[in-house]
Structure 1
Amino acid sequence: MTDDHSLTLANVVQFDATAAVADAFDGARLTQARRLRGWTKKELAGRIDVTPAAVGQYEAGAIRPRPEQVRRIAEVFTYPASFFAAGRPRAALDTGGVHFRSLRSTPARERERALAFTERLWELAHELESYVRLPPVDLPGWDGGEITGNALSDPITAAHALRTQWGLGEGPIPHMVRLLESRGIIVAILPYLSPDSRKLDGFSTSRLPRPIAILNEERNDVYRHRFSVAHELGHLIMHGEAHPGDIHHERQADAFAAAFLTPSHAIAESLPSRVDFTRLSNLQQTWGVSLDSLLVRCREMGLHSDATSSRAWRRLNALRSQGLLPNTPVEGFPGEIPVMLKQAFGMAQRKGASERRLADDLHWNEEDVRTLLQLGDPRPALHLV
């Protein structure tokens, strides 16, 4: 009798909770959750036994799901039903607000998944800031969600101005990721979410209250990784209005990255007038840039003719095909691995935060928190001998 009564009471409490969520249902939360899973509206509709049109109406806020539908939605996503209620800080991004390098090579579903990941990342950072003060954003023209004032549109001028503002001098930059994080920019590695994740290059946005740069974990070479970070930094300070896939913007970001990492007046005397891969390899390690980038700089500064450049590229490709120039993994360079949010969580733990508490406050599950903080699986591994 007591067990039946308890079960009935639990059902009533659950119904009351889902009824409250149904009354305050936030369609944008459903859109975010669906995009993060990489599901179409049709695929989600099949999982919750409604029509694709109904899913579209839920997301648009035209109609609200009934309590039993809310319960089913929460079950298929393995989220608490309260995740779908309005009233909490929420990031909102669309493709037009993000500097995607190419729209043709990446399926729309993968871009939407990346947008949802970035929204979640900002929400986690916002929650952590209730415990810890993250570094203030230090970008020219930054005004809490947009770049204002006179935009630095010339890549060379912008690179010089930023080095000056950040007090970097003219020499090599030891750690690019750590540099951005110290200036209040969130940097993260996009996890391998699907086979199409490999097609998605780095991207960035200045449309949220804190700028974010996302890198692809498949790029396992520290020199290309650093250039990608500098490329996204160029977008953040030069292109307040995102034009995804715009070739002119992409070329400007590349030019900024080259000028920021290897200022011409500082590296010019070190570049060889002849193709000398031993000397270029030494410069690679000193300046933290790829051999490709150094060859481009030699050509830009008039040290190599078109014919010389062509021969150099052929030799470089031949060396790589023979396995003589292997990639240098990012893991060996701690300053190039994002740590700001993970370290913020470590500090927050001393003020009572935990994975469970963050998950409860965000209305997520703990696995999502661990993934974004790069904490890994807390369970001990069983090894059979």
Structure 2
Amino acid sequence: MFYGEKLYTIREMFSYTREDLAKKLQVDEQLLWKIETNQMNPDFKLINEMKNFFNVQTSYFFEKPYVNAVSDTGKIAFRKSIGDKREGIHAENTFLDYFFTHISDIEQIVYPVLGPFNSYCHRVESKYNLTQLTHEDIKNIAEEAREALNIVSNNRLMYSLEISGLYIVERKLENTIDAYSTWLLEDSYPVIVLNSGKNSAVRRNFDMGHELGHLILHQYVDFDEINADRLKELESEANLFSSYFMLPEEELKNDFLKIGNPTKPDAYIPLKENYKMSIQSIAYRANKEGWMTKEENRLFWKNINKQGYRKFEPLDDKLPIHIPGKIRSLIYNALKVNESFITDWLEKYSVDIKYFEYIFNIKDDFLSSNIIQPSGYHQTQNVLKLHNHWK
């Protein structure tokens, strides 16, 4: 029996609309709709094209669905910079269900050390009224979070967040989306999804701080139910959290007062290198804190425009962009326990290795190099020597 719902969910997970997939496979969109709703079965030629397209085996579509619904669209802090702010949310919801299914596979073999993030969120919940946060509340929560999560320096921010208990994964998102975050499985698994297409280290750091703010401050918000004005308020709170989390006040003030002339953008380069945050975000924060005069702030932005730094600042092409390492590390440790883990994975779900490379955004041969071929597979001595047969 061909399971049409498996075609539907894997299409969603790969972020293709039915129209998109129909064009890719050169078939009618209505035909795909009938297949996905189990009104008809595809022919063998189309099944072969679909399995190659999604990097799965033919049997994938004939086995019962295995993905459990653990993600809730209302829990996903997701917005676009333009257009429909929640368009595409269902595809990300499906991706998160797949993601959690396979993270659970890994955790059945090796379980990550429980970090302080979840317990810190519970402390925040008991200490603050999260429905009526003040500016001072957000500042305090951000500074407390930095201490609780043991963020000594922004140089190893991603590593520190991962060992604190978060899962961070890269995924190709629309250009209008920087990142999003959510809690999975009844608010027990915090996840941040970063846009793999964004190529700025400082932007990535701000995005992680922003999504961390959503996870801590807005854990019980239903993002499906709020209006545009409320969403704007929550985004402002997350931005404020990120600023205080990434740029701790006392340390930043001491460093800022040493730069000399605050109207010259290049004077901020050492601060950018130290905090791994943009020159503009540092100056914006300094102005908000009252460390600059109005005239100094005006001249700063005039010079930013004059020097063409609005879109590209010094060090933007020099600072390394860190990638998530927790999932790779867990897979590595799972292989130490069971060397056939990846091979078993492929057989269990009837998929090819590129399927998992896509879900976890692993671009090198780390996964493929750890596949164990069946005994005798492609060994020369087991190949029939036809030239001897025809003598």
TM over 0.5: yes
**Residue 237 of structure 1: how far off its partner (Å):** 0.7
2:297 aligned with 1:302, yes or no? no
Give me the whole-angstrom Cα distance separating, in 1, the residues matched to 2:113 and 2:9.
27
**Residue 110 of structure 1: how far off its partner (Å):** 4.8
Please show how residues 72-221 of structure 1 align to structure 2 within 5 Å. Answer: 75-78=49-52, 79-80=56-57, 81-82=59-60, 85-86=63-64, 88-93=66-71, 95-102=73-80, 104-105=82-83, 110-136=88-114, 138-140=116-118, 152=130, 153=133, 154-168=137-151, 172-191=153-172, 197-208=174-185, 209-221=188-200
Answer yes or no: is the 8 Å Cα contact 2:200–2:316 preserved in 1: yes
Letter in 2 for 1:135: V
TM-score (norm 2): 0.73
- Percent of pairs identical after alignment? 17
Answer yes or no: is the 8 Å Cα contact 2:138–2:237 preserved in 1: yes
Give me the whole-angstrom Cα distance separating, in 1, the residues matched to 2:129 and 2:45.
48
Letter in 1 for 2:246: L
Deviations 1:122-166 (A, max 9, x none): 22211111221123253246899xx97566543212212312322
Go from structure 1 to structure 2 and tell me whether the alpha carbon gap of 1:248 and 1:71 turns closer, same or farther (over 3 Å shift): farther
User: Over the residues paired in the alignment, what is the CA RMSD in angstroms?
Assistant: 3.7
- Which among 217, 227, 232 is matched to residue 247 of structure 1? 232
**SS state at 2:16 partner:** coil
Answer yes or no: is the 8 Å Cα contact 1:44–1:55 preserved in 2: no
Answer yes or no: is the 8 Å Cα contact 1:155–1:256 preserved in 2: yes
- Which among 330, 345, 348 is matched to residue 361 of structure 1? 348
2:11 aligned with 1:34, yes or no? yes
2:275 aligned with 1:292, yes or no? no
Answer yes or no: is the 8 Å Cα contact 2:121–2:216 preserved in 1: no
Letter in 2 for 1:327: D
Letter in 1 for 2:162: E
Give me the whole-angstrom Cα distance separating, in 2, the residues matched to 1:365 and 1:248.
43
Give me the whole-angstrom Cα distance separating, in 2, the residues matched to 1:75 and 1:225.
36
Which shifted more, 337-346 or 204-213? 204-213
Go from structure 1 to structure 2 and tell me whether the alpha carbon gap of 1:143 and 1:165 turns closer, same or farther (over 3 Å shift): closer
Give me the whole-angstrom Cα distance separating, in 2, the residues matched to 1:70 and 1:90.
28
Go from structure 1 to structure 2 and tell me whether the alpha carbon gap of 1:282 and 1:321 turns closer, same or farther (over 3 Å shift): closer
Match of 2:386 in 1: none
Please show how residues 304-383 of structure 1 align to structure 2 within 5 Å. Answer: 304-320=292-308, 325-329=314-318, 332=320, 336-350=322-336, 351-371=338-358, 372=360, 374-376=362-364
Match of 2:202 in 1: 223
Answer yes or no: is the 8 Å Cα contact 1:139–1:237 preserved in 2: no
Give me the whole-angstrom Cα distance separating, in 2, the residues matched to 1:365 and 1:115.
23
Q: Which runs of 5+ in 2 are unaligned?
A: 370-391
Deviations 1:352-382 (A, max 9, x none): 2444322222343211112325143559xxx
Deviations 1:158-215 (A, max 9, x none): 21231232244xx5433111111101211112137xxxx2222211111345211111
Which shifted more, 354-363 or 284-293? 354-363
**SS state at 2:155 partner:** coil
Match of 1:236 in 2: 215
Answer yes or no: is the 8 Å Cα contact 1:189–1:214 preserved in 2: yes
TM-score (norm 1): 0.74
Which shifted more, 279-288 or 49-58? 49-58
Give me the whole-angstrom Cα distance separating, in 2, the residues matched to 1:39 and 1:230.
29
Answer yes or no: is the 8 Å Cα contact 1:106–1:200 preserved in 2: no
Answer yes or no: is the 8 Å Cα contact 2:162–2:168 preserved in 1: yes
Deviations 1:236-291 (A, max 9, x none): 11111252771111111111111111121232232138414454221222222211
**Residue 300 of structure 1: how far off its partner (Å):** 1.2
Answer yes or no: is the 8 Å Cα contact 1:204–1:214 preserved in 2: yes
Deviations 1:94-132 (A, max 9, x none): 543311132644687754444443333222211111221
Give me the whole-angstrom Cα distance separating, in 2, the residues matched to 1:321 and 1:166.
33
Deviations 1:327-363 (A, max 9, x none): 1356x35xx3101111211122222244432222234
Give me the whole-angstrom Cα distance separating, in 1, the residues matched to 2:286 and 2:255.
10
**SS state at 2:194 partner:** strand
**SS state at 1:204 partner:** strand
